[in-house]
Amino acid sequence: MADGMSSFWGPVTSTTECCEKNYAYSSYIAEFYNTLSNIPSILLALIGLVNALRQRFEKRFSVLHISNMILAIGSMLYHATLQRVQQQSDETPMVWEMLLYIYILYSPDWHYRSTMPTFLFLYGAAFAVVHSFVHFGIGFKVHYVILCLLCIPRMYKYYIYTNDASAKWLAKFYIATLFLGSLCWLGDCIFCKKISQWPVNPQGHAMWHVFMGFNSYFANTFLMFCRAEQRGWAPKIVHVMGLLPYVKIEKPKSQ
């Protein structure tokens, strides 16, 4: 939206803007709420990373939590500056993150272990290079949705084969936060002209960031539980101060 004050970063060069007045609170932050709303994602990913390292989960989960943090930091840079280069620091990690989810979901049953990570790595690297020169516009969104859809059948399989009620609730929270976050994102996009006339902006895109931070955390925790079951680590869901769930495991002494 139109600038509220002079810009430290110069004219907007990104191809997408959200329904928030630019530089309303600081000349250093273009979209104030859309920038700060990524902080919960970073904190939740950090909690997940500490748990994965402390209990010596497979490295794939540490990388996944780190990718969540990289995505959130890239999103902060993009919304703070509204520059084309920083937009790539938001969009490219979105694709990398989904490739990681595809690997974690499908790799346990993949017979040729080296082919999947090699292909996904090359795919992610090629996308980053091409995306640095070509902006796909709506094509990027379609591509991202396709990657998300590829994860659904496997997530559903894990859900129906999981008997633990607490783990199933994680999957339900994952769906709920995805649904609510998507509603906020769509509302911010579709009704921006009307929202900009309201006395108070509900900050739909910022709420999307918050919901998706919890969405990623619930997804990661659910996948960690399922993987621990596959490895025979006797996982159970416990809660930090009775609120935030995480996976606690008991590895056999031989491991």
22 annotated to a ligand binding site: yes
209 annotated to a ligand binding site: yes
31 annotated to a ligand binding site: yes
Q: Which residues pair with 26 in a beta bridge?
A: 29
79 annotated to a ligand binding site: yes
How far is Cα 46 from Cα 213, in angstroms, rounded to an integer? 11
What is the Cα Rg of the chain in Å?
19
65 annotated to a ligand binding site: no
What are the binding residues for Zn(2+)?
79, 205, 209
What are the binding residues for Ca(2+)?
20, 22, 31
What are the binding residues?
20, 22, 31, 79, 205, 209
